[in-house]
Amino acid sequence: MAKKKTTVYLDESVLRATKVFAARTGRREYEIVDAALRGYLGLSAVAAVWERSTLTEDEAAQVAYAELRAMRRERASTQ
């Protein structure tokens, strides 16, 4: 995926910890911030699921919509 430059404002202690962690792990600061945001937003888990999946995007969408329709039918029958 393409990277895009942005500016963020961080607490000094967070920035310092980011720099230290990056130096200790041999990574760049933006990689640490990216990984932290992906973890916080749950994107790491989504990526892990997609890596294990044998479904195409279209097949996954079909499964998701089928489940959504089933849930709506179930909800309608209980009201």
Both tokens assigned to 73: 């039918």
Separation of alpha carbons 35 and 47, rounded Å: 12
User: For the chain, what is the domain count?
Assistant: 1
The per-residue pLDDT for range 22-52, each reduced to its tens digit, is 999 999 999 999 999 988 888 877 777 777 8
* Residue 67 is assigned to a structural domain of this protein: no
Domain that holds residue 24: 10-41
In a domain, 79, yes or no: no
- Mean of per-residue pLDDT scores for the chain: 89
Is residue 64 a part of any domain in this protein? no
Residue 69 lies in a domain: no
HSE, side-chain direction, 13 A CA sphere, residue 49: 7
User: Nearest-5° angle of CA 14, CA 20, CA 25?
Assistant: 125
Within a domain: residue 30? yes
The whole-angstrom separation of Cα 79 and Cα 76 is 5
Distance between CA atoms of residues 7 and 57, nearest Å: 32
Residue 15: inside a domain, yes or no? Answer: yes
pTM given for the model: 0.57
Residue 75 inside a domain? The answer is: no
